[in-house]
Amino acid sequence: MLKLGYKIAPEQFPPSELLQQVITAEKAGFESIDASDHFHPWSESGQACFVWSWLGAASVSTQSIELGTGLTCPILRYNPAVIAQAAATVSSLAGGRTYLAVGTGEALNEYPVTLEWPQYDERQIRMIEAIGLIRELWTG
């Protein structure tokens, strides 16, 4: 089944403007939003709000739209346990209208924080391990 979603860009707009965008998107009939989890804005005049705080605000400001990240990298600047906790908190606030999309990251967002950028094969292995840890934490 086709779902219509809206891409929220925290690296381009202030958090308050993004909140208005998601409220408007829900009223317009969009079924989901996909929020970038970026540490670094795409331009010098851009933004870079902490997406997990923003998702909490979006979850209590909307009624039916599905909320999630696209994508979160749970292996470098984040510990997988922190992502498990953040996603579970947002899910609780949103009444389960959430999803978590993960990836191996982008150097632009991960390297400035960690000064680490492993080869893709290593990042992929770490991501698979992180997914297992997150699932374990969610099951108690």
pLDDT in tens, 14-42: 999 999 999 999 999 999 999 999 998 87
Q: Which two tokens stand for residue 38?
A: 């970026």
CATH topology assigned to domain 5-138: TIM Barrel (3.20.20)
Q: Which two tokens stand for residue 36?
A: 């970038």
Catalytic residues: 38, 106
Find all residues with CB under 8 Å of 56, minimum gap 6, and list them: 89, 90, 93
pLDDT bracket for residue 78 (50, 70, 90): very high
